[in-house]
């Protein structure tokens, strides 16, 4: 079977080369049979990468240790769920996942009925195929997942215990769905420049691609945070780790992009800016992959392989040069159709939102690569730690949150102070009231946290106000009931109201991030049998250490009954798991969670045969709101882009499309 996988990748590489040249010569000669042949090549690449992926899944499932990749990342006793997730546990599998997703995405673009009359699609496919060529080259000649060993080991090395968590099963694949997804709008953007058709068409046809890619990138970051929270055992969910940053930076620029394209849709502005944003976002997805694979920075997530890193850098350099050349050479096509008429306008607030997002992205990017820069310049690798990222990004992201509340309620073109007062007075007063109340009621008193909550409440109240006004207006017009009016309001313009739901998810996440950072309580204590640990209103009693077998693994766990305000709320059992084929044990956190807070218990060390043990216990306020907010955001995204009535473009944009549409 491994030979079938290897052959599939080799043939896919050959067909990719053929399809690229077939498209180029077919376009130059206007040779339709050749173009159709190239299109068939795209389908073949999608099929062959699927075959290779299925083969790798099968080899992992049957524990065929004659294959080096299977030997390195699985063992016989590994649960099936994690055997399958071992697919993307190493370099070769991750690259195959990228190539597979890219092959599927490219096939969808090639065979979508919506693109049958779009003359730019062959150019789009060439650019996507060049990406496929790079990854298939790596898979065939640098990191082949089907490479065989000279002998068949009786047992595999096993999967890193840190990766044996459901969060790490979904985190990489959602992240890659987002990474690869942004290659599609990038390809359409470059094709628009190549064909001198840099109007709104590329934005219209890639809107769903962009938003769905962004949604998966959001989910990828969210699952990564959940995994870090429960698996790494340090008490948090985000540590500004270089690899975490690598996926967060394109999320920031991608967020800026999906907002700024609305200005181009509505006002025929920011054409050049949108091109820059999608180029930067695409390159940052490659950069994120480079960071993970190069091993140039120390990270709990990184795979060290300097050879791959060099090749990624070369490819990033080529794509950067290609993009910049097109951007500069076709700059005359990107002249703005309109200009800003007022600082008090929705266009201005969108631009401000964009600048804040890009500013945050640059700050994170600079902090991430600074150790490399300092080593190159001074010969000393200077570590940029968490305080830098928090101090720089907290005010930027807070300002971004405020603009998020302001932006949707300002009129296009030019607003007035009266309209601003009508729209913002009530939310602003309520938010100030909430902020003041939190400052005096929450302990300890924290001014910055109270300001953060006030801004979050401001956004929340503006969203509620918009839903209320829209529902009541519809109710007055139609005499439908309130709930029916609300339902129809949302369905009539799902794009708009889905966006509000996404913003609502962001607000929930902001509540959780501010609360868990500002009001976290932490206690580290060594106790003996029967001793207690008190933290806040919780009391934990140490009843001793116990041991159990789970397959070949040994689990050592502490039993700790917990009371809250004097009432029993059950028992927590923080664990250490010792693996038969892994030197380091993993930490399994014990959690008691509710909407208000998480009780987070870590078994650190023990001594005297378990008679005494050391625990780290946290109270992390509002943690659950982060995860809830993430799923609200995903729901809002799906609601906004789901095909059908209400997801279409607004009338102003539709008019523009008819005028500027590209026809073959």
Report d(CA 346, CA 423) in Å as an integer.
13
What is residue 654's predicted lDDT score, i.e. its pLDDT? 42
pLDDT greater than 90 at residue 290: no
Give the pLDDT score at 256. 93
pLDDT score of 480: 87
CB-based contact 334:198 (threshold 8 Å) = yes
344 pLDDT band, cuts 50/70/90, is confident
pLDDT at 299: 54
Residue whose tokens read 């206007």: 30
DSSP per-residue letters across 39-80: HHHHHHHHHHHHHHHHHHHHHHHTT-TTBHHHHHH--TTS-H
Q: Which of 312-321, 458-467, 651-660 has the lowest mean pLDDT?
A: 651-660
Average pLDDT over residues 279-301: 77
Residue 15 makes CB contacts below 8 A (sequence gap 6+) with 41, 44, 45, 48
**Sorting pLDDT into bands at 50, 70 and 90, what band is 550?**
confident
| Length of the chain, in residues | 664
Residues 595-647: pLDDT tens digits? 999 999 999 888 888 888 999 999 999 999 999 999 999 999 999 888 776 55
Q: What is the pLDDT of residue 296?
A: 62
Alpha carbon distances (Å) from 93 to 85, 96, 121: 10, 5, 29
Q: Given this model, what pLDDT does residue 268 score?
A: 76
Mean pLDDT across 340-352: 78
Is the per-residue pLDDT at 663 higher than 70? no
Percent of the chain with pLDDT over 90: 48
pLDDT grade for 18, boundaries at 50, 70 and 90 = very high
Which of 204-208, 372-376, 469-473, 618-622 is predicted with the least confidence, judged by mean pLDDT?
372-376
- Output the pLDDT for position 303: 54
pLDDT tens-digit profile of 261-288?
A: 888 887 777 888 899 999 999 999 998 8
Report the distance separating Cα 345 and Cα 349, nearest Å.
7
Q: What is the CA radius of gyration of the chain?
A: 27
What is the tens place of the pLDDT at every residue in 71-81?
988 888 888 88
- Residues in contact with 381: Cβ distance below 8 Å, sequence separation at least 6, in sequence order: 371, 372, 374, 375
- pLDDT computed for residue 659 by the predictor: 40
Of 230-239, 577-586, 612-621, highest mean pLDDT: 612-621
pLDDT at 608: 83
> Residue 397: which of 318, 472, 447, 452 has the closest Cα?
452
CA distance 633 to 559: 37
| In the predicted structure, residue 228 carries a pLDDT above the cut 60 | yes
pLDDT of residue 661: 39
Average pLDDT over residues 645-654: 54
Query: What's the mean pLDDT in 385-396?
Result: 85
Average pLDDT over the chain reads: 87
- Say which residues have a Cβ less than 8 Å from residue 166's Cβ, sequence separation at least 6: 81
- Contact between residue 55 and residue 146 where contact means Cβ atoms under 8 Å apart: yes
pLDDT tops 50 at residue 656: no
Q: According to the per-residue pLDDT averaged within each range, which of 81-90, 287-296, 319-328 is highest?
A: 319-328
User: Can you give the pLDDT at residue 648?
Assistant: 60
- pLDDT for position 295: 63
SS3 22: helix
CA distances from 14 to 36, 41, 132, 137, 230 (A): 17, 10, 11, 10, 44
Average pLDDT over residues 186-207: 88
pLDDT of residue 17: 96
Mean pLDDT of 248-252: 93
Rounded CA-CA distance 141/131 in Å is 16
The average pLDDT across 434-458 equals: 92
Residue 653 predicted with pLDDT over 70: no
C-beta separation of 12 from 45 below 8 A: yes
Angle among Cα 362, 512, 285 to the nearest 5 degrees reads 30
Q: In Å, how far are 16, 470, 490 from 476, measured between CA atoms?
A: 59, 10, 16
Give the pLDDT band (50/70/90) at residue 304.
low
Of 138-147, 403-412, 470-479, which gets the smallest average pLDDT?
Answer: 403-412
Gap between the terminal Cα atoms of the chain: 44
Spatial contact of 466 and 500, defined as CB atoms under 8 Å apart: yes
């Amino acid at each position: 079977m491994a030979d079938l996988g290897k052959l599939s990748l080799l043939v896919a590489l050959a067909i990719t080369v053929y399809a690229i040249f077939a498209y180029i010569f077919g376009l130059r000669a206007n040779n339709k049979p050749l173009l159709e042949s190239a299109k068939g090549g795209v389908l073949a690449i999608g099929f062959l990468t699927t075959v290779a992926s299925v083969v790798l899944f099968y080899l992992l499932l049957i524990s065929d240790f004659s294959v080096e990749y299977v030997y390195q990342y699985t063992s016989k006793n590994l649960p099936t769920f994690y055997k399958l997730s071992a697919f993307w546990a190493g370099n070769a599998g991750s690259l195959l996942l990228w190539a597979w997703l890219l092959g599927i995405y490219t096939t969808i673009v090639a065979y979508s009925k919506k693109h049958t009359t779009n003359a730019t699609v062959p150019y789009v496919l060439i650019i996507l195929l060049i990406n496929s060529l790079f990854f298939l080259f790596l898979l065939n000649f640098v990191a082949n997942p089907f490479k065989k060993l000279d002998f068949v080991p009786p047992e595999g090395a096993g999967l890193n215990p840190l990766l044996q968590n459901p969060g790490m099963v979904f985190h990489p694949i959602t992240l890659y769905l987002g990474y690869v997804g942004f290659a599609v709008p990038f390809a359409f953007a470059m094709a628009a420049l190549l064909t001198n058709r840099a109007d709104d068409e590329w934005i219209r046809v890639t809107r769903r691609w962009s938003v769905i890619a962004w949604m998966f990138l959001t989910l990828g970051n969210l699952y990564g945070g959940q995994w870090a929270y429960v698996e790494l055992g340090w008490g948090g969910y985000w540590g500004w780790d270089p690899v975490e940053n690598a996926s967060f930076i394109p999320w920031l620029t991608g967020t800026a992009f999906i907002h700024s394209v609305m200005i181009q849709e509505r006002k025929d502005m920011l054409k050049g800016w949108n091109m820059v944003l999608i180029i930067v976002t695409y390159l940052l997805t490659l950069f994120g992959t480079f960071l993970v694979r190069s091993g140039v920075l120390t990270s709990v997530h990184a795979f060290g392989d300097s050879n791959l890193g060099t090749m990624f850098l070369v490819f990033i350099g080529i794509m950067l040069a290609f993009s910049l050349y097109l951007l500069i050479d076709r700059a005359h096509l990107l002249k703005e159709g309109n200009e800003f008429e007022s600082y008090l306008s929705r266009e201005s607030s969108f631009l401000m939102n964009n600048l804040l997002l890009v500013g945050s992205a640059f700050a994170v990017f600079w902090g991430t690569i600074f150790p490399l820069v300092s080593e190159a310049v001074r010969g000393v690798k200077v570590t940029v730690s968490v305080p830098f990222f928090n101090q720089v990004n907290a005010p930027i992201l807070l300002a971004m949150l405020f603009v998020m509340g302001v932006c949707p309620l300002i009129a296009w073109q030019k607003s007035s102070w009266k309209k601003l007062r009508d729209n913002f007075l009530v939310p602003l007063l309520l938010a100030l009231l909430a902020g003041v109340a939190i400052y005096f009621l929450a302990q300890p008193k924290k001014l910055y946290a109270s300001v953060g909550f006030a801004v979050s409440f401001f956004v929340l109240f503006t969203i509620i106000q918009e839903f209320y006004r829209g529902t009541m207006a519809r109710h007055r017009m139609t005499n439908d009931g309130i709930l029916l009016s609300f339902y129809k309001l949302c369905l009539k313009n799902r794009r708009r109201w889905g966006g509000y739901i996404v913003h609502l998810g962001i607000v929930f996440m902001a509540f959780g991030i501010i609360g868990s950072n500002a009001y976290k309580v932490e206690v580290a204590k060594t106790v003996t049998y029967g001793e207690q640990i008190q933290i806040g209103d919780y009391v934990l009693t140490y009843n001793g250490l116990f041991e159990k077998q789970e397959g070949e693994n040994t689990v050592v766990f502490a039993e700790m009954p917990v009371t809250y305000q004097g009432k029993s709320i059950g028992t927590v059992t923080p664990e250490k798991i010792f693996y038969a084929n892994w030197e380091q044990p993993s930490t399994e956190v014990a959690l008691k969670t509710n909407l208000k807070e998480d009780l987070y218990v870590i078994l650190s060390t023990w001594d005297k045969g378990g008679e005494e043990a050391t625990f780290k216990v946290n109270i992390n306020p509002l943690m659950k709101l982060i995860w809830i907010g993430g799923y609200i955001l995903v729901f809002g995204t799906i609601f906004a882009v789901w095909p059908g009535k209400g997801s279409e473009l607004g009338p102003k944009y539709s008019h523009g499309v008819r005028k500027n549409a590209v026809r073959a």
